[in-house]
Structures are given as structure tokens and as C-alpha cells.
Structure 1
Amino acid sequence: MSVASPHHRSTVMPTPRQQMMAQLEHGSLLVGGRELLARAPPNVTLRPAGVADAEAAPGTAFLGARAAEPSSRHVFSVGTLASGWRWMSLFRFKIWWMAPATGAGAAAVPAETQMLLLESRDEAGSAAAEGSAVYALMLPVLDGDFRASLQGSPQNELQFCFESGDPDVQTMEAVDAVFINSGDNPFKLMKESIKLLSKIKGTFRHIEDKEIPANLDWFGWCTWDAFYKAVNPAGIEEGIQSLHEGGAPPRFLIIDDGWQETVDEFKEVDETLREQTVFAQRLIDLKENHKFRGETCKNLGNLVKKIKEKHGVKFVYMWHALLGYWGGVLATSDAMKKYNPKLAYPVQSPGNVANLRDIAIDSLEKFGVGIIDPDKIYEFYNDQHSYLSSVGVDGVKVDVQNVLETLVHGFGGRVAVTRKYQHALEDSIAQNFKRNNLICCMSHNSDSIFSALKSAVARASEDFMPREPTLQTLHIGYVAFNSILLGEIFIPDWDMFLSKHETAEFHGAARALSGGGVYVSDKPGVHDFSVLKKLVLPDGSILRARYAGRPTRDCLFNDPVMDGKSLLKIWNLNNSSGVIGAFNCQGAGQWVWPVKDIAYVPTSINITDHLSPSDVESLDEIAGDNWSGETAVYAFNSCSLSRLQKHQNLEVSLSTMACEIYTISPIKKCSVYYTRFSAKPFSSHLWD
């Protein structure tokens, strides 16, 4: 196919295969038969995603670029976005976490964008209707020892940043920096792209190729919001017992931060800096601290044995940081010397600094981190996990992961060091716990995401913060959108919530259709069992949806938090039905970027929107053969039942912080005398 410049189109009709191919000629990048980028500089390169792979997916390619001189960090322009495209970005707004942004034009693409999904609509027809839109995916990836991210420029150019994080690791060329693909279904596009990319790169796997931890199918309790760092054995027993007595027995327990032996080296610091030193404390031993060694609780093993035998807990996870603790390990500790630790000071990428600062990383920049020698990191994990396993612990939640990218000077760069730590962690989990019992947390950099060979569960958002009323709706928005990418590589973890809280129904409904685990962090005796019993069966199990809960197709390019008109709709599949959750996130909070001096005043906004059975992607999977497209739609809160064809709409009206859950059941006509719903009855639970 001959591709002319943006100002002159060839009259030669392309073949269907040629139309699918990504092509770069005369500064114009075409994907899916449409121009995506214009005025690309001559140093920009495009190559197919491997000869064999290109046969299976002809639209896939890698963008790269060449520089005049070697450097550890390059910023390459790839041109301007062609007209007619709108985009949704997943970018790191903090060093630890991603969040969504939407827009049109390249200038507004945030720094640290790790996924850019674009949509080009036909002039006629709805963008949400099947076949009326082309979707393009731009996925900055890992290329050798370098990591790519996208960003816009004031000149309205789209750029990719290409960096190693180590001044000694340099290059002149990015070859496979940005993966490109296109299609007519954004969810299939994402899944097929991640599967193909995992085969090409070989450094991570798709979620379907991983072992799923068994604890996800059981209700859990986490100690964090119940006790924070004051967690203790008596409180743990009390919390488990109170949930059990109320009819929501936790079978999965996370003993969060507060159990380890740490030291505060900064007791004499100025009082104004005390809050910062909390994050600079360091690990001095692998065993539990004094709170878990006494008369009533002899040791950690004694506690684990007791809560399993007495309270029926099946899985116990312990919290630790990737580097041992927030401030790493104490280099002078007798127990830590064998791991060759040294004190290092974080150096952030300019992309991180361009977005939101974080108090934890600010603290570590001031007080340093005790980092373990990468050649000793498996030994450290193996020692820690073998001890925990020996006392009956089943797995770990590993936090503060992205700090590692800032500590790689002299170690070979961020990609190499992250991969070494990640694979050592995964190997230790497999060796000591025998199951893939790991939750990754504060780990949203692409270095970690695209190094996850075995890790199957990852937190998908910033923390649930019960004391921050304006962050509740943001939490739901974060996770739903982040799951578009993360849900292809991990089971997204939506974090804990509180069952007795003004937002409990809102959060509970979101967890129920999330496809991930369900766990709370209630204080002992402070529970709302009317909420919990909608989520938890009497034996402590939960009914988990089939996929990661993600926004419906017509929500992908909307702002469900601040545009004043859009509901957030999240879809999923169950064994015999589809499910849609409609959430009004408007008026209750605002995105925390860009930082503004204007005080935000929450307001109540009533939003009227619509939903359709066609919002449930892949509904055909559970409808089976001979389905006419007719469905029964049941609204859980209003107890209303409607009969709709697949593409018919149902009006939805919700006030701020309200939600409604709809079960979409395909109706199958087996004979002229018998009609049945292909779904189970509701009983007392939100979803089957």
C-alpha cells in the first residue's frame, strides 16, 4: 500500500490486511486504516512486532527513535495526534500509583503515562456502538535496560521518555519502546495486546497463565485501619471473633504493618520533622517484635496456630516492604549485615517530580534507605519467608515497591534491578509458601508490571482512606480504570474498606463486582452486618466475578468524577449472568491533580444516564447457543425487573454517592411451553 503525506492521500484501495497494518511513511503513522500521528520526525522508527507474531497480529508494531548522542535519559517526539482522536491515559500521578485522565490533543497527555487508549469515531453513529469506532493502543514498555513512558508537550507533540535510571547505563537508540495495536473492541484489543506482548518480551505473563491464590474466594480482614501500627495479638483475636459472631467469619487475615522489629534512628530529630521520620524507620530483625512475644502470646507461631484452630482462619498473610521496611534495613544490624546493605538516597525521575509529590518519598530522600545488595536479595527473601512459613504463615503482602526505581545508581538501572528483586521475590514465594500467595502493593510502575512473571494479585489504587471524605469516589474511579491494564496481568486488589462507614454500601457494591478479593479493616465490634451479609456467605466464602471489573465502553473516555454529567458504570460476568454497577461519583470529590489553590466544596448532583445489556462485554459467553438477545434486568436496590433486548436502554437516575447494581440474565427459550432465565435466584446476596 502506498501511503502519501498527510496532505495528499493515495487513491489506491488498500486490502483488508493492509488496512490493519501499522505503517509509518512521510511522517504519518496509520493504524487501523486511520492516521494516528502526523509530522513524526525522521528519527522516529517503526518495526513490526516480530515476523512470526506479525502474521498473527498484523496491526502490531513498536515505535522507537534514534538520538545523536548516548544518554541514560532521552525524550523523543513522535509527532502530533491527528484530528478526530480522543484518549484515555493511565499515568502515575504519584510514584506509587496510577490514575486515569481523558482528553484530546497531545499537549494534555500527562507525564508518566503508562497506557494510552485512543478512539476515532465515524462521522455517523455512536462511538459506543460496535463497529463504529477504531481503537488504538499505545503501550510504552520495557526495552532492554530502559523503560518508556508517554507525555505531551506544550507544542502539542506526543513524546516518549526513555530512561534507565542509572547514569552509567546509556544508549543512543530506542528500538521497541512503544507497542502499538488497533482494533474495534477496546477490551479484546487490550487482552490480545498483553498476551502477544508477554510472548514477545518473555518478562511477564498474562493473568490467565498464572496460578490464582485460593484466598481470593474467601472473605478477609486486614488489621491496618483497625489498629494501624498498634496491632497486637489480643486485638487480632478480638476482631476475628467479633466478625465470626456476627455471621461474617473471616477466613483470610492480613497482619499489616506493626509486627516487625524496627528501629527509629531519629529520636533526637527536630519535632517538626517527626512525622517524616516514621517512613525512615529500618528493619533490624526478621522475627516478630515484642508485642507478639509474651505471656498470652508466646510468639507469632503460637498466634497463627491459635487463630487457625480456634477461629477457622484458613490463610494468614504478613505485611512487609520490598526492602524489608519503609526505610529499608539497618546496615549495622547484626541480623542484616549478611545481605550487604548500604545507605542510599532516592533520586526521582523528572517524570515523577512533574506530577504529585509524596510525603513518604520526601522523607526517604532526606533520611535515606537501607538497600540490600541485589545479589543478596533472594537470600533475604528466602530467610524472611522460610521463617514465616515455619510458623504457619501462608503468604505475604509486599508494599512500598516502587521506591526501588529511585535507588538504582550503580546497580545497572531501574529495569534490571526491579526485575531482579521481583523475580527473587516470586521465587521465594514459590519455594516457601508452595502457592502463589503474594499481594503486590505500591507497585504501579511499568518496571514492576512488566516484570510480573508469577505475581497474580496487585493493589489497583491508592489506599482506601476512611478519614478523607473527598477521596471515596476517586478510589472507585481509580481502580475501575486502572483495571483496564492491570486486570490483564493481575487480579486487581481493590483494598479494604469499612463495613460501618457512610460509604460502606458504595464500596461494598464495587468490591462485589470487582472480580477481586473482598476484605474489610473494621475495628473489633464496629461492623455493619447488613452490608457484610450481602457479600459473605455463612461459611465465609464469597462469590467472585469472572473478570476484572472495568468501565463500560461508553464510559472509557468520560470523566466520571468531575464532568458533572457522567455515571461510572462497571461491568463484569458471573457464571450465569452479567452484572453492571452504576455509581454516581460526581460532586463528592475532585482529582488530586493538577494541584489547585481553589478550595473544593462537595455538592450533591443528580445524574440521569442509561445502561444496556450490551454494556456487558462478552455476554455471549454465558448466553450460549440459540440466544435471541433478550434479557431480564434486575435492579438490586429498587427490586425492579425489566425485559430488554440486548441493545435496548434502561434509564438510570442516581444522586451523589448512590449506586445501583443490575444483573443481566440472558433469556433462553427452550420450547414454546418453557422459558427460563439463565441465572440463579438472588437470595440475600448482591451477586451470584
Structure 2
Amino acid sequence: MGPHISSYPPLGQITQLKDQNFHLIALLEVGKDVANDPWEVAVWYTFDHHNWSEKILPPLPSSDCPPSLQTINSSNALLYFCSPFFASSRVKFTLKFRNSHDQPWMWSYNVSGVTNGVVIINQEESLDGTEQSLSDFIHGINPDLLVKPVASQTPNTRLWTITATVGPAEEDRSTYHNIELGTPCGYMRYFALVRHALPWLGPRHGSDTISLDKNAVMCSFLNLNGQHLVLLGISDVANVMTLLRSSDTGSVQLHIRNDAETDSDGLVLAAVGHNFESAMAAVMYHARTIPLTTGSDHGNSTPDIQTVSNDVKAQWNENWYDGLGYCTWNALGQRLTDEKVIHAIETLAKNHINISSLIIDDNWQDIDYQGGDQYQHAWKGFEAEPTAFPHGLKDTVSRIRSKHPGIKHVAVWHALLGYWGGISSDSDLAKRYKTIQVDRQDASAQGPMTVIAKEDVGQFYNDFYQFLSDCGIDSVKADVQYMVDTWISAKHRRELTETYLDSWVVSALRYFSIKAISCMSQTPQLLFHQQLPHNKPAMVARNSDDFYPDVPDSHPWHIFANAHNTLLTQHLNILPDWDMFQTDHEFAGFHAAARCLSGGPIYITDVPGNHNLEIINQITGTTTLGTTVIFRPSVLGKSIDAYIGYDEPNILKIGCYNGMAVTGTPILGVFNTSRQYLREIIPLSRFPGVLESSMYVVRAHRSGFVTPALKPDNPTAVIPVQLDVRDYDILTAFPVTWFDSETNGGIHVANLGLIEKMTGAAAIMASRSELQHNGRVVLSTWLKALGVLGVYISCLPDMSIERDFIATMRDEPIPAHTARVSEADAHVLSIDIETAWKEMGLDSWGTSDIEVKVYFDIEHP
């Protein structure tokens, strides 16, 4: 591989900076055999498309060069160049380099194919109380639309409602309207979440001319002034679905479907802010305040959701989605039997894989298997398929629970309407409950299906979940929820959609509390009716299309789509679920890292006996009670670059955060979803939740390397990242405590959590460090699970573990051999808490957390 150049601000991206004074830092990767050549790097730049100028970037002294957290190719060398820059307006730039002054310049675009970089100086002047109108951001607004400014709940943003009145459904056929909105002004990038498929959202990106292949729920535009215009179509108001689409001329249109029998209003929210997150929050917060339709009278069969929600008792998350789950779907195929399920569980146990939740997925039910595919197959009765489960569902669940008491929760899959093809028309269910026939029109699901009629839906769900509860089932996965949007009849959608959604939620809360998964439910009406309102406890909801183990190209897209979908779903009343994955798989680490960062549940679907125990040990830990837990960050993982497209040669960066503000831990996952080697420079300031006034050490999970203490406002406080195709890593920024030592000067200390776990910072329940009067530091850590605790101490190479340290659990000294200096970094003290716990024979005292204290003398000679 020839020379490779990268920079911050980065090429090929738009970077918003608050300060007119910034530093441009370039990283040139060259072969070691030419590393001593007189390399030169220059930036070629222009302000607001005026004349281009050139500036030579001087090399950084070796003492100022950022440390690498990854193992560098032994045949390569990294050369840094840096220069201060002043910009009063927008700057476009590119880089060129050469290995001596008499050689021709090599341009970055010709070497790597990366386009120019753009820097926007955004002073973030207040938007509150400004006189700007929406026409300042959208050119040629349709005068037939009603545009009204409204108060925004998000500081420093402007908000408007856009209303379009549309005609009623006619003869049971919905009315569709395409209404011109206008063209967003002077934007450089757009990002949209479209209906990637009927059940799923997916991201779309582009530059200065919007072109969408599918209808969008939201669109965001970054303009030349660094302002973000976010448009959000609202659905489920008066039985209206409002989406966004692009025209052939690059304008935005409203695509509105009216199922109501009267004129109705399609509604779009528009917000402008100085950053994407605040503009997105503005439209989502206001969406929560919009009264959604109660278009059908449920009668007494569907109690009020709020009433049932008030009866739901608070539960520890650890009892549900904080444990490791196992799903049968990809693991056991599509013809389940009770013996297959039990064999899979026993195989997990033999491999010491301790799951706390089991999902018995599709194909446990009694299905008629009529028609050509699953979309035609219909459900016959509550009891499990009699041949595959000859002793019934209750017997299977009872055997599982008696032999494997560590499995606390057993869930079953079912479709919202019973099965993919609804209810079998000649079944016991059809005789027990009133049914109707509805017609579907979709590429996959076509033709008629039988479903429970409106007046019996509430009773049906109550009876079904009572049966499941009696069988020992305590959780459910309700799938295929989008099917209600395939119905041709406006009347059926109008009268049944809300009935089914509310009846399901009520019964799920009544029988299973929060232990329910909503799946294939990113249809617009479901997003706004089921998942946005905060009148009930948050549920788990699938965040993207499925994990497809045998489709190689699906894996990077899966991670990319989830990271961008969360930019919207983070504002819903749900816990986003990034789907199951297999640990014995080419992309196992890729998926595992993404699940750990997501902040959602983690469950695997391994074929029995095919397990990667190393991966499993990196995503889970064992508590003092012997249970297995995962390490979920407290803030959801999401893309930190809303406008970077899937096909662009840029690293996908997924940011999350754990703990309290100021004292918490920023985490950044980096993923190469492209088809080429990538290198980027990532400033510490880009990590979520980083404070300029604080200091951090950054640790890479895969290498275990740790930086010295860094301050985010230092221009060289950057992390160089190199990733091969389909490669990944997790970078965690740990807050540093500074102690003054008379004999050793300033000493930096950081609690690294459980260092062998991908998101081991999330194992820290609480942490405190203090300097005692005798010159000894004590670091107290409360952990949610056992493992290897890491402590960064800047002067550790000059200290002696035997002389200067003591560690305790329950105030008893741990065995000396369980503490050692990390092989990956000489500044990290690693303490094997798990081994120490076993050897000390401590009792859990009925609690899963454990306190560890580390004492060390900073005044050692």
C-alpha cells in the first residue's frame, strides 16, 4: 500500500466548529524505508469559493505526536503535520503531499478518492426570539399550506407546524395526495430515514440535491451557514399518514394518505437548529404533545392503557433485558420441536454459557400451512403444535425451568394478528371469536386473510396471554405488526389498527409487565401511536431489519442502519433492540461490539455447539450471585455523523455514554463498513459527553493500549484510527483524577472498569477516589459483575505492586497474585476480581454488586 493521508478536520466531510481559530492536523502514513525523506504536506483551501491558496503544514515534534492505540504495520511509519488556522467563514480544502521539494505533489483525492473537506464556523448565535420565517430555510413554500410558528421545547431552535388539508377516503379506498412543500435553501448535505421496507426504517444520504428512492418519515438538511433543518412527517392524526418524498426537480413533497371519512389534516413539523441533535429533539418533543387520534370506540374490551400502566410494578432491568438472551430463530431453523429447544439449552449449559432469557421464536404454534408461503399460513389454536410439542407448551416450559433455574424468563413469538396469514378460517380460534376477512396488497403479503374482529380483539388477547401465563411464559415477542398497513380497506385500517395495537399493549402490560418486544413495527402509524407516547412503561422494540447470517453484505449495513435509525428512535418511549446475532460467525465481533454500544438488549442465536466463548466473555460478566449480565451504557448508542452516507469511504462512529454527567464515561465505537482500508483522526472532543474542562485517558478495547492524560481543547488531543475492511474497535475515554505528589509531581489516576469487556466501563456502578492525609490514595469501585478491574496510574512504571499497593474486597485483602501490571500497557494495574472472589470464598450477601478498594502510596521513594 502506498502513502495514505488523513486529517482533522477530515477530508470528505463537513465539520462544524465554534471557534474561528482551529488547528489543521494531518497524518501521513508512509513506508519506513522512506520515513526519513523530507516529506512536505500542504493544504489547498478557499474561503467561500474565492481564490484558492496554499499553506505548508510544518511537521509536529515527536513529543507532541498523538499516541497510537492500535498496532501499526511494522513496515509503516506515521508522520504528523499541524498548523493553526483562522477562518471567518466557510472553508473548503484538500491536501497534497510529496517526499521532497523537487518531486511532484500527490493530491489526496488521487491517492484515496476522498473529496474535499469543508469547515463551517458556526458561532451558534441564538435563534430564540428571532424573526426568521420558515421561508428563510425553504424556498418557494406552497401558499396552500398553513405554516405556523410554535414554541420549541429545545433551547436555541425554531419550530413550525405545516398543515395540509386533504379530502376523505372514498368508497372504502384511501385518498392519496402529493403536495408540493418547497426546496430547502442552500444545503450541502441531507439525511433521511425512509421506509426501507414496510416494517422497517433505513437511512438515505446525499449532497445538494435530494433524491429519495422511498418515502421518508424524516429529512434533515445542513445548509451553508451550518444550520440544520429537520422535517418530520406525523402519522396517526385523524387516521392520516404523512410522509416526505423528493420530486424530479429536487423539491420536497408531502405524501399524505387519508383513511378517514372526512377531510383531514396532514401534518409536518419543521425545526431549525445549530446542530442536528437539537433540531431533531425539537420536532420529536413537540410530536409528543400532539393529541393522536382515538378514532375507534374500543368499548369495554380494551381498558385504558394509562390505568393498566399504573398497576405495573417497577422491576429491575437486570431481571429482563440486562441478562444474556438466546433466540431459537437462526439457531434451530423454522421447524421447532420441544426436543430441539431443550437440546439447544443443554448445549449452552455444557459450554458454560449462562442465559437468563429464552425466546422461543416462530414455528412453535399450531399452523395450518395452507398456501405457498408463511404469508398464507394461518394460526389454529393457542396450544403449541401437537406433533412438535406432544406434551404441550406448559410441559416444555416446565422442563426448561426445572432443569435450568438460571433461565429466569421464557418468551414466545407470535404475530400481532396471530400468525403471518392471520387466523385459520376453520380453526377453533375462528369458532371461539368473531372474525372478519381483510385483503392485503404488498409484494410479499397479498390476498385475503382472516383476523379477529374488532369487538373480540381485547378478549382474544386477554385469553391468549392468560394461556401463556398459565404455561409459565412470562414475556412475548409480538412480530409482523406492520401487516395492518398492508390492508387495502381504509375502513379496516381505520377501525382495527388502533384496536389491535392498544389491545396488545394492555394485555402485555397486564400479564408480562415490561417484558415484551415489539417487532416489525417501524410503520409510521405504529411509531407515533405505539412507541412515541409516554403514557406507559418503555418497551423493547426492534430497531432495524433482521440479522441475516448468510448474506455477507447485510452485516455492515445492519450496523450502519441501526446507528442511524437510533437518531430518531432515541426519542421514542422504547429501548431499541438491534436484533440477535451469532457468536460463531465471520462478523461476530463486529455485531457484538455494536450490540454492546447500542444500550439495548443482547441475545444470541447460535447453532447448538457453535459458539465463540471469547466473544461471549467480552459481552457478559458473572455476578456474585452466579447470574450472567451484559454491560449496557446508560445513554443509547447512535451515529455521531448524521450526514455521512453508507457508500462514502468514512469510518462509522457510534457514540454512547455511561454514568452521570461530568463524572461519566464517553464511549466511541469505530467500524469500517466500506470496502477499503480506512484511517481517520478523531479528536477527543468528538466523544459524546466529553467536557473541555476535564482530562481523560482513552483506552482501545482490542489492543488494551491507553493514552496519557489528554485535555479535549488541546489540538493534538486526537486519536488516530486505522481499520481494515470490516474491522472495528471500541474507544473509551475515562475521566482522570489528578493528585499532587511531593516526590513524583502530578499523578493521573483513572478507573477503567472491567478491561476485558467491550463496554467494561458500564460495569462501574459507582467510583470514588480520594487522597488520605497519610499520602495514600484510595480508589473505591462498586462493580455490577466480576472480571478484571483496570486502574490507570501515570507513575505505575516507577512503582512496585508488592511495596506500594494493597487491594481489598469486603475489606479483606485479595490474593497478591491476582494483581499485576497489564501486558498491554505498563501504566495499567489489572486486578483479577473474579479469581480473587473464588479463592477468597466470599459470600454474596444476597447482592450482585461488589466493592473493591485499591490503596496505593503516591509518595513512594
**C-alpha displacement of 1:139:** 0.8
AA aligned opposite 1:114: V
Paired with 2:591 and 2:293, the residues of 1 have a C-alpha distance of 34
Aligned match of 1:355: none
Aligned match of 1:198: 288
Paired with 1:650 and 1:54, the residues of 2 have a C-alpha distance of 35
**C-alpha displacement of 1:675:** 4.7
Q: Deviations over 1:21-64 (max 9, x none)?
A: 6624xxx2xxxxxx321011210211234x7x679887222111
Q: Is the 8 A contact 2:153 2:285 kept in 1?
A: no
Paired with 1:67 and 1:136, the residues of 2 have a C-alpha distance of 25
Within 5 Å, which residues of 2 pair with 1:516-531? 516-531=600-615
Paired with 1:662 and 1:116, the residues of 2 have a C-alpha distance of 30
SS of the residue 1:278 aligns to: coil
Q: Does 1:568 align with 2:673?
A: no
AA aligned opposite 1:577: T
Q: Give TM-score, length-normalised by structure 1.
A: 0.81
- 2:688 corresponds, among 596, 617, 622, to 617
Q: Does 1:428 align with 2:507?
A: yes
Within 5 Å, which residues of 2 pair with 1:238-637? 238-266=343-371, 274=372, 277-291=373-387, 293-294=389-390, 298-311=391-404, 312-347=406-441, 361-365=442-446, 367-407=447-487, 409=489, 411=491, 413=493, 417-433=496-512, 435-452=513-530, 453=533, 454=536, 456-489=539-572, 490-538=574-622, 539-552=627-640, 555-559=641-645, 561-563=646-648, 565-575=649-659, 576-587=664-675, 605-620=676-691, 628-637=693-702
- 1:141 corresponds, among 221, 224, 234, to 234
Q: Is the 8 A contact 1:233 1:291 kept in 2?
A: no
**C-alpha displacement of 1:286:** 1.4
Closer, same or farther: CA 465–56 of 1 in aligned 2, 3 Å: closer
Paired with 1:482 and 1:511, the residues of 2 have a C-alpha distance of 14
Q: Does 1:44 align with 2:154?
A: no
**C-alpha displacement of 1:196:** 3.2
**C-alpha displacement of 1:100:** 0.4
Task: Report which stretch shifted further, 639-648 or 91-100.
Answer: 639-648
Q: Deviations over 1:261-303 (max 9, x none)?
A: 110233xxxxxxx4xx232100111111114543xxx321222
Closer, same or farther: CA 678–420 of 1 in aligned 2, 3 Å: farther
Task: Report which stretch shifted further, 405-414 or 416-425.
Answer: 405-414
Q: Is the 8 A contact 1:120 1:135 kept in 2?
A: yes
AA aligned opposite 1:284: K
> Highest CA radius of gyration, 1 or 2?
2
Paired with 1:316 and 1:446, the residues of 2 have a C-alpha distance of 30
Aligned match of 2:184: 81
Aligned match of 1:660: 729
Q: Does 1:61 align with 2:154?
A: no
Aligned match of 2:34: none
Closer, same or farther: CA 155–261 of 1 in aligned 2, 3 Å: same
Q: Is the 8 A contact 2:366 2:380 kept in 1?
A: yes
**C-alpha displacement of 1:396:** 0.8
SS of the residue 2:375 aligns to: helix
Q: Is the 8 A contact 2:397 2:410 kept in 1?
A: yes
Q: Is the 8 A contact 1:408 1:417 kept in 2?
A: no
Q: Is the 8 A contact 1:237 1:307 kept in 2?
A: yes
Closer, same or farther: CA 70–334 of 1 in aligned 2, 3 Å: closer
**C-alpha displacement of 1:185:** 3.4
Paired with 2:285 and 2:293, the residues of 1 have a C-alpha distance of 12
Closer, same or farther: CA 155–634 of 1 in aligned 2, 3 Å: same
Task: Report which stretch shifted further, 243-252 or 317-326.
Answer: 243-252
Q: Does 1:174 align with 2:283?
A: no
Aligned residues: 592
SS of the residue 2:553 aligns to: helix
| Structure with more helix by fraction | 1
SS of the residue 2:333 aligns to: helix
Q: Does 1:187 align with 2:277?
A: yes
Closer, same or farther: CA 137–22 of 1 in aligned 2, 3 Å: farther
Q: Is the 8 A contact 2:423 2:429 kept in 1?
A: no
**C-alpha displacement of 1:69:** 8.8
Closer, same or farther: CA 671–136 of 1 in aligned 2, 3 Å: farther
Q: Is the 8 A contact 2:201 2:565 kept in 1?
A: yes
SS of the residue 2:752 aligns to: coil
Aligned match of 1:101: 204
SS of the residue 1:86 aligns to: strand
SS of the residue 2:735 aligns to: strand
Which protein, 1 or 2, shows the higher relative CO under an 8 Å CA cutoff with sep ≥ 6? Answer: 1
Paired with 2:284 and 2:166, the residues of 1 have a C-alpha distance of 28
Paired with 2:457 and 2:132, the residues of 1 have a C-alpha distance of 42
Q: Is the 8 A contact 2:599 2:632 kept in 1?
A: yes
Aligned match of 1:592: none
Paired with 2:723 and 2:528, the residues of 1 have a C-alpha distance of 38
**C-alpha displacement of 1:432:** 1.6
AA aligned opposite 2:632: R
Paired with 1:470 and 1:284, the residues of 2 have a C-alpha distance of 37
**C-alpha displacement of 1:101:** 0.6
Closer, same or farther: CA 640–54 of 1 in aligned 2, 3 Å: closer
Q: Deviations over 1:374-433 (max 9, x none)?
A: 33222221111111011111111111111101226153645x643322111110111222
**C-alpha displacement of 1:520:** 0.6
Q: Is the 8 A contact 2:422 2:450 kept in 1?
A: yes
AA aligned opposite 1:583: F
SS of the residue 2:653 aligns to: strand
SS of the residue 1:501 aligns to: coil
Paired with 1:174 and 1:378, the residues of 2 have a C-alpha distance of 30
SS of the residue 1:448 aligns to: helix
AA aligned opposite 1:509: A
Percent of residue pairs bearing the same amino acid type: 25
Q: Is the 8 A contact 2:378 2:419 kept in 1?
A: yes
Paired with 1:202 and 1:678, the residues of 2 have a C-alpha distance of 48
- 1:117 corresponds, among 179, 197, 220, to 220
Closer, same or farther: CA 41–521 of 1 in aligned 2, 3 Å: same
AA aligned opposite 2:514: N
Q: Give TM-score, length-normalised by structure 2.
A: 0.65
Q: Deviations over 1:213-263 (max 9, x none)?
A: 641100010000111222222222222222233232010110000110110
Q: Is the 8 A contact 1:665 1:677 kept in 2?
A: no
Paired with 1:550 and 1:463, the residues of 2 have a C-alpha distance of 18
Paired with 1:291 and 1:203, the residues of 2 have a C-alpha distance of 44
Q: Is the 8 A contact 1:21 1:60 kept in 2?
A: no
Q: Is the 8 A contact 2:366 2:379 kept in 1?
A: yes
